[in-house]
Amino acid sequence: MVVEIHVPLLPRPDLPDGAHPFPWIDEVEDFLSDLEDQGDVGVFDEGEEDGDVYVFFITGASQGDLLPVASRVATLPGVPAGTIAVVSTDEADNGAPCA
């Protein structure tokens, strides 16, 4: 099982000139890396841009454990509103949701 965390690619309007428009990507990666180091979840693959969203992939636990992690990601400071989780498998084609 894989939970995909889809975060809208919305730049923050208050960033100084030349700043990375999506600073929350590094914050989410650090958060997930810390959880992986603790053994709570596994990071299935590198995060990636997919159209107008950035997708993070987590695995290594039950759906009941992974979905709260996705919820925590959605509430991290700076993460844009509209973040969603998609339950999938490592065999799904292009992140197709599981039935």
Q: Is the pLDDT of residue 94 over 60?
A: no
pTM: 0.83
More confident residue, 23 or 79: 79
Q: pLDDT tens across 24-72, in order?
A: 999 999 999 999 999 989 998 889 999 999 999 999 999 999 999 999 9
The domains of the chain are located at 2-13+20-88
3-class secondary-structure state, position 60: coil
Q: pLDDT tens across 44-53, in order?
A: 888 999 999 9
Query: Distance between CA atoms of 14 and 4, rounded to whole angstroms?
Result: 28
For 2-13+20-88, CATH number? 3.30.70.260
Query: Distance between CA atoms of 72 and 51, rounded to whole angstroms?
Result: 23
How far is CA 22 from its chain centroid? 13
How far is CA 7 from its chain centroid? 6
